[in-house]
Amino acid sequence: MHLLAIGGSDAGIAAALRARELDDAHEITVMLADEFPNFSVCGLPYLVSGEVADWRDLAHRRREEIEALGIRVVTGATARAIDVAGHRVRATGPEGSEWATPYDRLVIATGATPVRPTIAGLERLGAADGVHALHTMDDAFAVLATLSERRPERAVVIGAGYIGLEMAEALTHRGLAVSLVEALPQVLSSLDPALAAVVAATLVAHGVEVRTATTVREVARVGDELVVRTTSADGDNVEIRAGLVLVVTGVTPDVGLARAAGATLGARGAIQVDRRMATGLPDIYAAGDCVITHHALLGETYLPLGTTAHKQGRIAGENALGGDRHFAGSLGTQVVRVFETVAARTGIRDHEARDAGLNPRTAVVSVDDHKAYYPGATRIAVRLTGDDTNGRLLGVQLVGTVASAVHKRVDTVAAALFSGLGVDELGDLDLAYTPPLGSPWDALQVAAQRWRAEAPTRVDR
Amino acid sequence: MHLLAIGGSDAGIAAALRARELDDAHEITVMLADEFPNFSVCGLPYLVSGEVADWRDLAHRRREEIEALGIRVVTGATARAIDVAGHRVRATGPEGSEWATPYDRLVIATGATPVRPTIAGLERLGAADGVHALHTMDDAFAVLATLSERRPERAVVIGAGYIGLEMAEALTHRGLAVSLVEALPQVLSSLDPALAAVVAATLVAHGVEVRTATTVREVARVGDELVVRTTSADGDNVEIRAGLVLVVTGVTPDVGLARAAGATLGARGAIQVDRRMATGLPDIYAAGDCVITHHALLGETYLPLGTTAHKQGRIAGENALGGDRHFAGSLGTQVVRVFETVAARTGIRDHEARDAGLNPRTAVVSVDDHKAYYPGATRIAVRLTGDDTNGRLLGVQLVGTVASAVHKRVDTVAAALFSGLGVDELGDLDLAYTPPLGSPWDALQVAAQRWRAEAPTRVDR
């Protein structure tokens, strides 16, 4: 039996590792287009910042470790077509070689590709001009090359999502002046505006020029420089001159191969899979950023995240070997660290809940991370959302310092959401307390009590 | 309607606050023996250490804040007897005054008192000699007086539980040499020995002399000094001379008042209450360190913790007003910080599970708190316990640095235990990840996968 995974990032590798864990005998191959199997794409900003000195350290596992498990790793191999009936994948190598690899079970883990927004000039500018994406190791190497060769003093980051924020920090850390340009009225649109404003304030405090509600009309090369021409919502036209422009405006699932093979596409054009990660095509599974996401509260959506890719890949690998694991569902749990500020969320926000036909309400509190009498307490901004119809917990958003542990406090709510707990039950949880690190009622429980106290119809359970 | 709470610490105050929150009209009184309503007993070590400069800061709320809510606070009032049929409490004041306070609903929140171990000499030595307990504000003031007046160079802490460890740190922080003496073979007997050893190593690294498996035979006063005479399990007799001796060997529920009123006693002699915190005596509720603890996994036990007292008090206050809230149950979630090391646990350990007739097995892993490529990663020691009969999660113990957020990682397991999740479901949780603060599989999930992989009978779900 031969299990073939197309894609050497989180999902493809997780599938291969799980299959090997369950079975020593089967043949397992991971085929990937570049030379970087099992690298942490989420770590790229820290390579660019210089905090990770050696790019090899970004590997979750070294290639030799994977191969030592008896997993064949074929790099530089671009899958071109899947012969579904013939159970083979046609691939090409870097020097034009072409071959077909037979499989018994296939896991498509082709990931996503960066969205190239429709901005004049982008169609003819690239890494050689100092215009970059940041999605692959090669992208990161190209950014590093621009930094070392062109020694830019200013960078423009287009897009204020997770990667945009991390890269604004990374480039600031490298000593560049950074302008962050975002078409939406706020940074980090995955958070409510009031919390996103805290993150924006952190960026500004560290010298980042934040221009929200600002669209980029054009990126032009003028001599050795790049000129980013922007228009604000107020109609102001501003030109920013920079030596480096980073375009990080989101990703789109890479489904060309799957579509050509006859796979059904779902939300946002991602590959339709069931909870077993099966595509419906015989013996073909798919996982990671190329597939739709089963969301525990929203149903089918598209929410590409590394954590989800690992889980889906593991399930695909198990089921490809005849298992019957089901993906338990995403809650969209996310966290980003921007300088000393951490923003985290899990579950859904008011507008998402309303769109899903629910009856949400959000309580807003600001609570010390630990007892104020012990030195070093900082405030955690909490927005806790529940459903007024049935008291069910829907989600939480947290912003605090690194020391406030919001990055793990959010996990408590993720666990509560997984089990469908009510807001009141969050208050019932037996959470840990010691004065230097917490309070008898955790910040989440203070929020839960506030939510209940503010209920339009008083329900005294 | 008059609600009277006896006891001004966590449970009594929580009951009063909840009653006031639910109802503006009723009369509410909190009666307490000392002058310190709503003070954080858990904060006493940080007052002694000097990290909390002003003792007034240890109040969760100032007295005026409580009174501003229309709650009467009667300090210096020791409840002497409850006239159950007559619905009144007889009390005495500091100067011998005596009176009776009528009530319609009563909440007994008399807390616990320190165990005075049977050590020769303790019966005649007290604070004036430099021999102290640490359970009340007055205890802390007495310790501070000994420190400033006698200027001891060495302290002996008898008992290596939570408070013993915190006080060993606090006194080290004050510049004293500290000997920590514990009769059991390990510090922090609430943790498995291997993890407790990590905590002990931290103490030793900070200069604390740790003497486990050592009993104290006698404490004697010799001139201005104290002599602590110990015997180790090996039969070695060692004398330790010190200027301060702290006896912190646990607490026992303070139930004299309730027992005399006819209340039933349960586990460890604590007041028997149902999940509504009702004592069975008409109109009398009880909460906090004086009552039995409903444990979600073990049933009735005695596990006095501040977090539990707050929850029980809140429920007692609500139900005293006619509500019907049920205490959801404790999981014994605890955390202690000892210098830079944090130890946390929730749920039950192997021996507790076996005693409860379960079929436990524990997986042991050591996992980076965040991706090792990002600077500053430290190891979290995880011991995850599940039940081999049904795959159910039973508990976790974690030891790590402050930065590793084990104090909130433990809460994720507390939430999972609350809902009765299986070990495998812990692996399914959608937990937060960003490289500087986590990993795609959280340390808890790595432990869950290890637990499954080590299962004696392979169940491939």
User: How does pLDDT run across B346-399, given as a tens digit for each residue?
Assistant: 999 999 999 999 999 999 999 999 999 999 999 999 999 999 999 999 999 999
Instruction: Estimate the share of chain A in helix, then strand, then coil, as percent rounded to the nearest 5.
Output: 30, 30, 40
Closest CA to A21 of A305, A278, A313: A313
Do A79 and A143 fall into the same domain? no
Cβ-nearest to B435 among A42, A305, A405: A42
- The predicted-structure confidence for B236-278, as pLDDT tens digits, reads as follows 999 999 999 999 999 999 999 999 999 999 999 999 999 999 9
Set of chain A residues whose Cβ sits within 8 Å of the Cβ of B309:
440
3-class DSSP assignment, residue B230: strand
Do B213 and B260 fall into the same domain? no
Alpha helices by DSSP H, listed for A207-355, are 256-260, 306-320, 350-355
Q: Quick check: B415 contacting A, CB < 8 Å?
A: yes
Q: How many CB atoms lie within 10 A of CB B239?
A: 12
Cβ-nearest to A435 among B40, B323, B425: B40
Interface test with B, best of A398, A430, A439, A442 (most B CBs within 10 A): A430
CB interface of B with A, residues 69-128, below 8 Å? none
On whether residue B459 sits in a domain, the answer given is: no
Nearest chain B Cα distance for residue A437, angstroms: 7
3-class DSSP assignment, residue B365: strand
Do A137 and A238 fall into the same domain? yes
Residue with tokens 């409490």: B89
Interface test with B, best of A408, A409, A412, A441 (most B CBs within 10 A): A408
Contact: A460, B323; criterion CB under 8 Å: yes
Domain edge (last residue) among A247, A277, A308? A247
Determine the Cα–Cα distance for residues A131 and A161; give it in Å rounded to an integer: 18
Set of chain A residues whose Cβ sits within 8 Å of the Cβ of B411:
408-409, 411-412, 429, 431-432, 442
**Main-chain phi, psi angles of B390, to 5 degrees:** -130, 5
Nearest chain A Cα distance for residue B311, angstroms: 7
* Nearest residue in B to A10, CA atom: B440
Determine the Cα–Cα distance for residues B20 and B61; give it in Å rounded to an integer: 15
Q: How far is CA A122 from the centre of its chain?
A: 24
Set of chain A residues whose Cβ sits within 8 Å of the Cβ of B311:
428, 430
Nearest chain B Cα distance for residue A151, angstroms: 24
Do B243 and B136 fall into the same domain? yes
Interface test with B, best of A21, A44, A431 (most B CBs within 10 A): A431
On whether residue B23 sits in a domain, the answer given is: yes
On whether residue A383 sits in a domain, the answer given is: yes
Residue B458 has pLDDT above 90, yes or no: no
Q: How far is CA B226 from CA A320, B48, B119, in A?
A: 71, 20, 14
- ipTM score of the complex? 0.97
Residue A260's contacts (CB-CB under 8 Å, 6 or more residues apart) are: A81, A82
Determine the Cα–Cα distance for residues A256 and A268; give it in Å rounded to an integer: 14
Nearest chain A Cα distance for residue B19, angstroms: 12
Mean pLDDT for all residues in chain B: 97
CB interface of A with B, residues 283-322, below 8 Å? 296, 305-311, 318
Bridge pairing between strands B2-6 and B27-31: parallel
Set of chain A residues whose Cβ sits within 8 Å of the Cβ of B342:
437
Q: Quick check: A338 contacting B, CB < 8 Å?
A: no
Do B210 and B238 fall into the same domain? yes
Do B362 and B296 fall into the same domain? no
Set of chain B residues whose Cβ sits within 8 Å of the Cβ of A296:
430
Q: How far is CA B342 from CA B34, B162, B183, B187, in A?
A: 32, 11, 22, 14
3-class DSSP assignment, residue A163: helix
Closest CA to B201 of B442, B383, B370, B381: B381
* Nearest residue in A to B443, CA atom: A408
In the sheet where A78-83 sits, what is the strand order?
A78-83, A88-92, A98-102
Q: In this structure, what CATH number is given to the domain that contains residue B178?
A: 3.50.50.60
Domain edge (last residue) among A222, A247, A272? A247
Set of chain B residues whose Cβ sits within 8 Å of the Cβ of A10:
440
Nearest chain B Cα distance for residue A368, angstroms: 12
Do A313 and A360 fall into the same domain? no
Per DSSP, B29 falls in state E
- The predicted-structure confidence for B115-130, as pLDDT tens digits, reads as follows 999 999 999 999 999 9
Token pair belonging to B5: 């709470």
On whether residue B327 sits in a domain, the answer given is: no
Q: Quick check: A10 contacting B, CB < 8 Å?
A: yes
Asked if A15 and A107 count as a contact pair (C-beta separation under 8 A), the reply is yes
The pLDDT tens digits along chain A (461 residues) read 999 999 999 999 999 999 999 999 999 999 999 999 999 999 999 999 999 999 999 999 999 999 999 999 999 999 999 999 999 999 999 899 999 999 999 999 999 999 999 999 999 999 999 999 999 999 999 999 999 999 999 999 999 999 999 999 999 999 999 999 999 999 999 999 999 999 999 999 999 999 999 999 999 999 999 999 999 999 999 999 999 999 999 999 999 999 999 999 999 999 999 999 999 999 999 999 999 999 999 999 999 999 999 999 999 999 999 999 999 999 999 999 999 999 999 999 999 999 999 999 999 999 999 999 999 999 999 999 999 999 999 999 999 999 999 999 999 999 999 999 999 999 999 999 999 999 999 999 999 999 999 998 654 44
Q: Quick check: B53 contacting A, CB < 8 Å?
A: no
CB interface of B with A, residues 354-413, below 8 Å? 371-375, 402-403, 405, 407-413
CB interface of B with A, residues 23-42, below 8 Å? 40, 42
Do B97 and B157 fall into the same domain? no
Token pair belonging to A210: 């934040």
Residue B460 has pLDDT above 60, yes or no: no
Do A224 and A156 fall into the same domain? yes
Contact: B51, A307; criterion CB under 8 Å: no
Alpha helices by DSSP H, listed for B188-271, are 193-205, 256-260
Interface test with B, best of A162, A173, A373, A378 (most B CBs within 10 A): A373
Cβ-nearest to A337 among B22, B402, B437: B437
Q: How many CB atoms lie within 10 A of CB A280?
A: 13
Cβ-nearest to A435 among B46, B421, B431: B46
Contact: B438, A296; criterion CB under 8 Å: no
Crossing angle of helices A306-320 and A10-22, in 10° steps, is 40
On whether residue A287 sits in a domain, the answer given is: yes
Indicate yes or no: pTM above 0.90.
yes
Do B411 and B448 fall into the same domain? yes
Closest CA to B171 of B231, B223, B121, B242: B242
B181 burial class (0-12, 13-18, 19+ CB within 10 angstroms)?
Answer: buried
Between A and B, how many CB-CB pairs are < 8 A?
Answer: 231
On whether residue A151 sits in a domain, the answer given is: yes
* Nearest residue in A to B307, CA atom: A440
Do A379 and A425 fall into the same domain? yes
Contact: B432, A460; criterion CB under 8 Å: no
Closest CA to A383 of A411, A415, A350, A414: A350
On whether residue B119 sits in a domain, the answer given is: no
Domain total of chain A:
3
CB interface of B with A, residues 419-458, below 8 Å? 419, 421, 425, 428-438, 440-442, 453
Domain edge (last residue) among A229, A247, A265? A247
On whether residue A334 sits in a domain, the answer given is: no
Enclosing domain of residue A435: 340-453
Closest CA to A195 of A345, A304, A333: A345
- The predicted-structure confidence for B14-36, as pLDDT tens digits, reads as follows 999 999 999 999 999 999 999 99
Cβ-nearest to A431 among B58, B307, B435: B307
Closest CA to B105 of B256, B286, B263: B286
* Nearest residue in A to B324, CA atom: A461
Cβ-nearest to B335 among A334, A337, A434: A434
* Residue B461 pLDDT level (bands cut at 50, 70, 90): very low
Do A134 and A238 fall into the same domain? yes
Closest CA to B181 of B227, B123, B112: B227
Interface test with B, best of A55, A434, A461 (most B CBs within 10 A): A434
Set of chain A residues whose Cβ sits within 8 Å of the Cβ of B346:
430, 432
Q: Quick check: B10 contacting A, CB < 8 Å?
A: yes
Nearest chain B Cα distance for residue A42, angstroms: 7
Cβ-nearest to A373 among B52, B333, B375: B52
